[in-house]
Each structure stands twice: as structure tokens, then as C-alpha cells.
């Protein structure tokens, strides 16, 4: 049947296409991360901490697009398994700054290589101009959606 997903009007919907692309990316990432015993959210959390050490639970949650509660259970597991550390008491306020351990950094290294290969494949068939165009367009979509969301509370 020559895999031809649903194709009447949905193919003309940018929203559907966006979801399809995101879904394909997630599936590809899961595919390369599974052998490493890592989920996408798991990886996202570690990557965020590598690039911005000391992020709080809530900040990590926003960065990984999950709720604080979900990130909290993940962080507890990561802390238990020795990938990250959090101070016993909050240095200021209630915010607990999280940091990668050596083990966490080592684990992240392998994952980064795997994920980068996926992203490279995704960028493969695109010219430099198309890439910068993709950035511009995605940012435009995000801004439009966020603005309207804030405008109507």
C-alpha cells in the first residue's frame, strides 16, 4: 500500500506537518537512545544541565517541556543513580540548583554523539540557506503562538 499516511487536506496543514516532523524526530531519538538505556526526557535533562549548570527543577522542566512534577520524579531517579547532585538545603529561597556528576557527564557524552547523528541526518538534505530559513520560520511560529497565548489568559 506504499505507506502514504492520511493525505487529503492534512498534508496542507502546517500544524499537522509540524506534529509529524516532531514525532519523527522523537522516534529517531528514542531509537538511538534506547540502546543507551536513556529516554528523550532523560537526555534533555542532562543536556540542559551540561549547558547551564545549576538549573533548578522548574527551569529544567520548562526546558524539557514537561511539568515540574514530572521533572521532579526524573531528578529523584537521576540523583539516586548518581547522575546529578542537589544540595540538601536551598542556598537561597527554595530553589535547589542541580549539577551533573562525573558519571552524568560521561553518560551524556555517548548520548550526545548519538543524538547529533540524528540531527545531522535531519539536516542532511538541506542547504545552508534552507537551514537558516528553517530557524527563522520555526522561531516565527513559536513567537506567534506564545504571544497569542499570553494575550488571552
Partner DNA sequence: AAATCTATGTCAGAATACTGACATGAGTCA
Partner DNA sequence: TGACTCATGTCAGTATTCTGACATAGATTT
Residues contributing to the site for DNA (CB under 7 A): 30, 39, 41, 56-59, 65-70, 72-76, 90, 92-96
CB atoms closer than 10 angstroms to residue 57 = 20
Pick 90 or 137: Cβ nearer its own copies: 137
Binding track, positions 121-140, relative to its own copies; x by CB under 8 A:
xxxxxx---xx-xxxxxxxx
Supply 7's cell numbers.
Answer: 493525505
Question: Distance between CA atoms of 89 and 101, rounded to whole angstroms?
Answer: 18
Pick 82 or 147: Cβ nearer its own copies: 147
Whether the CB-CB separation of 135 and 70 falls below 8 Å is answered with no
Supply 27's cell numbers.
Answer: 522516534
Whether the CB-CB separation of 38 and 107 falls below 8 Å is answered with yes
Pick 65 or 135: Cβ nearer DNA: 65
Determine if 93 is a binding residue for its own copies (CB under 8 A): no
Residue 119 interacts with, from DNA, its own copies, none (CB under 5-8 Å by kind)? its own copies
Give the range of 54-62, 72-80, 90-98, 99-107 binding its own copies by CB under 8 A.
54-62
Question: Distance between CA atoms of 132 and 33, rounded to whole angstroms?
Answer: 27
Determine if 24 is a binding residue for its own copies (CB under 8 A): yes
Determine if 109 is a binding residue for its own copies (CB under 8 A): no
Pick 88 or 128: Cβ nearer its own copies: 128
Supply 77's cell numbers.
Answer: 531517579
Question: Distance between CA atoms of 56 and 86, rounded to whole angstroms?
Answer: 9
- The radius of gyration computed from the CA coordinates of the chain, to the nearest angstrom, equals 18
CB of 77 to its own copies, least distance (A): 21
Residue 113 interacts with, from its own copies, DNA, none (CB under 5-8 Å by kind)? none
Amino acid at each position: 500500500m506504499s505507506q502514504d499516511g492520511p493525505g487529503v487536506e492534512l498534508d496542507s496543514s502546517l500544524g499537522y506537518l509540524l506534529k509529524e516532523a516532531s514525532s519523527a524526530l522523537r522516534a529517531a531519538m528514542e531509537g538511538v537512545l534506547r540502546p543507551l538505556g536513556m529516554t528523550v526526557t532523560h537526555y534533555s535533562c542532562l543536556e540542559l544541565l551540561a549547558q547551564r549548570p545549576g538549573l533548578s527543577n522548574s527551569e529544567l522542566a520548562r526546558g524539557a517541556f514537561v511539568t515540574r512534577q514530572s521533572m521532579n520524579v526524573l531528578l529523584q531517579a537521576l540523583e539516586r543513580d548518581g547522575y546529578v547532585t542537589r544540595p540538601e538545603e536551598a542556598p537561597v529561597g527554595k530553589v535547589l540548583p542541580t549539577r551533573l556528576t562525573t558519571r552524568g557527564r560521561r553518560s551524556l557524552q555517548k548520548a550526545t554523539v548519538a543524538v547529533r547523528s540524528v540531527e545531522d541526518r535531519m539536516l542532511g538534505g538541506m542547504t545552508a540557506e534552507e537551514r537558516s530559513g528553517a530557524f527563522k520560520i520555526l522561531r516565527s511560529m513559536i513567537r506567534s503562538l506564545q504571544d497569542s497565548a499570553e494575550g488571552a489568559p
